[in-house]
Amino acid sequence: MEKKIPMTEKGYQRLQEEMRHLKNVERPAVIKAISDAREHGDLSENAEYHAAKERQSFIEGRLAELEDKISRADVIDVSKISGEEIKFGASVTLQDEDTDEINTYQIVGSDEADVRQGFLSITSPLARALIGKKASDGVEVTTPNGSKAYNIKEVKYV
C-alpha cells in the first residue's frame, strides 16, 4: 500500500498548477525546440538538440513525480481542525530561549515547506518535536546546527 502524503489544499493546488504548466506550456515548447533543432542537420554535434532533449527528460521526470504525489495526496482542510494540541496544519508561534526571537510557522507537507516564508515541513526535526505539544510548553530540538530550545507562545488553526 502506497503511503499517503499529507498536504494542505493550497499545497495540493500548487502541485496541480505546476503539472498543468508543464503539460500545457513546457512540454509543447520543448517538443517544438527538438523539432527545430532536428532541422539544423547533424544531431551528434547539435547542442540545441541535446539541450532540448535534456530539458524534455527533466519535464517528463517531474511530471511523473507530480502525478505520483497528486495521486497519493491526503489533502487536509486546516480550517476544520481545532484544539490546543499541535498537529498538522497548526500555526505555531515560538520564542527562542537563547535569543528571545519570536517566529510563527505553519506545519505543512514536505512539498510546501519554506522556512523563510514560515512553512515548516511535517518531517522536519522541529515539527516532529512540536507535534502533540500545547501553548506554554517548552520544546527542545536537535537540529543539524545543534540543540535549540523554544517556548510555545501560541497554537492556532487558520
Nearest alpha carbon to residue 107 among 151, 125, 96: 125
Contacts for 89 with CB less than 8 Å, ≥ 6 apart: 8, 76, 78, 81, 106, 107, 108, 157
Assign 92 a pLDDT band (cuts: 50, 70, 90).
Answer: very high
Apex 107 CA angle, 102 and 108, nearest 5: 140
> For residue 19, what pLDDT is reported?
97
Asked whether the beta carbons of 34 and 53 are under 8 A apart, the reply is yes
Mean pLDDT of 84-103: 94
Model-level pTM?
0.81
94-115 pLDDT, tens per residue?
A: 999 999 999 999 999 999 999 9
> For residue 145, what pLDDT is reported?
79
Domain parsing of the chain, residue ranges: 5-76, 78-156
Identify the CATH assignment for 78-156 out of 2.60.120.260, 3.10.50.30, 3.30.300.30, 3.90.320.10.
3.10.50.30
Mean pLDDT of 64-73: 96
> For residue 102, what pLDDT is reported?
95
Q: How distant, in Å, are the alpha carbons of 102, 126, 149 from that of 129? A: 17, 5, 11
Asked whether the beta carbons of 117 and 71 are under 8 A apart, the reply is no
Which CATH number describes the domain made up of 5-76? 1.10.287.180
Nearest alpha carbon to residue 108 among 145, 64, 65, 76: 76
> For residue 16, what pLDDT is reported?
97
Contacts for 3 with CB less than 8 Å, ≥ 6 apart: 72
Mean pLDDT of 47-53: 91
Residue 90 cell numbers, joined: 497548526
Mean pLDDT of 113-139: 94
Assign 2 a pLDDT band (cuts: 50, 70, 90).
Answer: confident
Work out the mean pLDDT of the chain and round it to a whole number.
Answer: 93
Residue 1 has pLDDT above 70, yes or no: no
